[in-house]
Structure 1
Amino acid sequence: MSVTTDARPFSATLRASTLEVHDRANYSTYMRALLGGELTQDGYTQLAIQYYFIYGAIEAASDAMAGDPVGGEFVFDELRRLPNLERDLAHLAGPGWRSTISPLASTREYVARIREASTWAGGYVAHHYTRYLGDIAGGQVIRRTLEKNYDVAEAGALFYHFDGIASAPRFRDTYRAKLDNAPWDEAERARVIDETLVAFECNVAVFEELASRLDEFRA
């Protein structure tokens, strides 16, 4: 189990404890190809499809956690991605997209893990943190890449638009303060770190499965 007994705020400990797997996700073969402009638009569409299933699970968990005294602190309507993903997929995959898309095996496993972990507020927060803070920060690099290299600016890239957040840095500070103030003891904080590591590994697995199909997606 992860060790969290240090003098840093919990948000700093969480970030430091997950930095290695965070970097593996960010610098995965698939993400390097996407950011390098090496893929067709369909190569990006496949990622958006996987996100549709992943965020469906996270946002269903948000609905369930809304009244929880701990988990409810991390339910932000301005973060919800499903409405934008639905608009993106209508543009990228066509009006009949709901009947044509399916999750990868790694995505199905990820969704199952989100549902299992989110029976506990700390597990829910672990998966919530892993996805949303990255979308607000590093996701904006992907947004600019889509505009520059894939001719996708509005519809198709709305997933990366957070119009309800006036200041991303202030929002991240607010989120980290909630992590620091959550009433978890050391053992629970260790569990949150462990589940966050699992969440990042789930992301890595999705990127690896997408990378296994790069020959289909290269421009």
Structure 2
Amino acid sequence: MSSSTFDFLINTNMNCSGFVEDKKGDIWTTGPVNSAHVAVWALSRYDAKSLYSEKPAVAEIMTGDAFLGLSEANDGSIWFGSATGAYRYDGNTITDFYNKEDQKKYTIDTKQSAVVWKTSMLLASWEGSKFLGDRSGTGDVDILKGELMIENRRLVGGTIEVDMNTIENFADQRSLNKLPPFFDVKKFPVSTFSISKVETVNDGKTEGKNG
């Protein structure tokens, strides 16, 4: 990386995950589109001739989920990847090297993942006009192992095993949760969740159904 590239990245305070300077001097980056849409990433190209202007000329080549890795090949094409495949941009066309015919299986990173749960009673309690709550609770439980099935870039199934001894409640009821009326962890130390159906909810997120 040249000193001019380094200065450009510092001066623009750019929020990027990856960057590369190509043979023409253009700067390519991957990262969130902006702070308000951190879930939407983009592959962007900054024109070398405008790097130090007040508004550098930038072109968003592609947007999508998180892009991992960024490199220029010997022929000048730009390669970048995502969680489900690799892409090549030759200046005109983006080629997707994801194998759409096969279903892919991904192992869950147990150190970076957890199952979050939430409970509530059907009936809420009141004291006069004061709402006392529905005794809802939330917490998480560690994952022992798990696999997710991806097909055509969408979650289609999977299986997750969780360690019930790690169940936590954010309302300081950790010991209560482990009693037989709740989760009898001595009798059932491990629970298995199997995703049998996946639906897309209104905000575009996926929601799995435990089968």
| TM-score, length basis structure 2 | 0.20
Query: Considering only CA atoms, is the larger Rg found in Structure 1 or Structure 2?
Result: 2
Structure 1 or 2: more helix by fraction? 1
| TM-score, length basis structure 1 | 0.20
Structure 1 or 2: more strand by fraction? 2
